[in-house]
Amino acid sequence: MSKLFNFSLLQRTLTGIVIVGAIIGCVLGGPYTFLGLFSVLIFGVLMEFYNLINISREVNILRWLHSLGGVVMFWCFYLAASHTTPFGNNVFVLYLIYMLALFIGRLYTTQTNPIRELAYIILGQVYIALPLSMLNTIAFHSIAIPLGNIEDDYNGILLLALFFFLWCNDTGAFLTGCTIGRHKLFERVSPKKTWEGFWGGCFFNCLLALAFYQASFWGFFGQDLHELQHYSRVDWIGLGLTVSIFGTFGDLVESFVKRAVGVKDSGTILPGHGGLWDRFDSLLLAAPAMMLYLVVIAMFKTL
């Protein structure tokens, strides 16, 4: 039993290192590696989500087609946020075509309950594709006026911050929960989570936020440091707490869905972690919450 536990822990650790390395490498690699990695991620998470819906046998969703629909949404956000085309927000016509075909297609479906099928498909688009598409807005957040070169317009600082906060929150919550965790956070959905773990994650993120305020931290990653001029220590701490709170909610929402379907993991593609959705569930609520936080901060700074 001990050997099995050690192997599982080793497997989980090695997989985690690969995931962290891939994300950091693709974010630092520039806009094209970022586009490639997260296009694959959206497709994979949607495939897992629609597969779990199909397990319920209420509907039979054509997984690959509607997963590609989510990728199209991501590309539209990318093209609009990066200013790589002269069409601006008109690029969303591509996704509009998909939505029109989606609704019209329900008229010709053989599903016994086409309305329920439609609802599940749209749920996947709103719950998974839309939040992950917002990563594009975060990646190009600091560019009010495009510089004319996508490499110059792209800035990975806030993207890296989002993922570092998520990883730090998970680690802090796990360590704190294992050592002093007593009071259940949301036992009906996730029996292992505790209030002590939640506050531990928040505390660790506050410490990390203080490090993020230092330009030397980001200089290590070779990032353009002009983004740091916009945010104070309080701004960074607020961002860390925002990611902690909504990242935890994101984890709980996925656990809620999996319990409703009756499965433990969303997939098996990541050894020791389960599926892609299992690994990136907290990102689905943390990304839009972070985007909203940055918008509010920008509004207050212009007053």
The model's pLDDT over 180-214, given as tens digits with 9 standing for 90+, comes to 988 898 888 888 899 999 999 999 999 999 988 88
Tens-place pLDDT, residues 234-258: 999 999 999 999 999 999 999 888 8
Report yes or no: 267 and 278 within 8 Å, Cβ to Cβ: yes
Residues 9-33, buried b or exposed e (16+ Cβ, 10 A)?
Answer: eeeeeebbeebeeebbebbeeebee
pTM above 0.95, yes or no: no
The residue ranking higher by pLDDT, 216 or 153, is: 153
Overall average pLDDT of the 68-92 stretch: 90
Domain parsing of the chain, residue ranges: 31-144, 156-303
Would you state the pLDDT for residue 143? Answer: 43
The pLDDT score that the predictor gives to residue 144 is 43
Say what the pLDDT of residue 82 is.
86
Structure tokens at 182: 């007593």
Residue indicated by tokens 């983004």: 227
Six-digit token pair at 83?
Answer: 């200013």
| C-alpha triplet 237, 238, 243: angle, nearest 5° | 100
Asked whether 142 and 226 are in contact (CB, 8 A), the reply is yes
Closest of 300, 55, 23 to residue 166, by C-alpha:
23
Least confident of 22-26, 29-33, 50-54, 218-222: 218-222
Cα atoms in the Cβ-side hemisphere of radius 13 Å centred on 46? 34
pLDDT at residue 75, as a whole number: 96
The structure tokens listed for 81 are: 């946020």
Check residues 247 and 260 and name the one with the higher pLDDT: 247
Residue pLDDT, tens place only, 128-182: 999 999 999 888 865 444 445 566 678 888 898 999 999 999 999 999 998 998 8
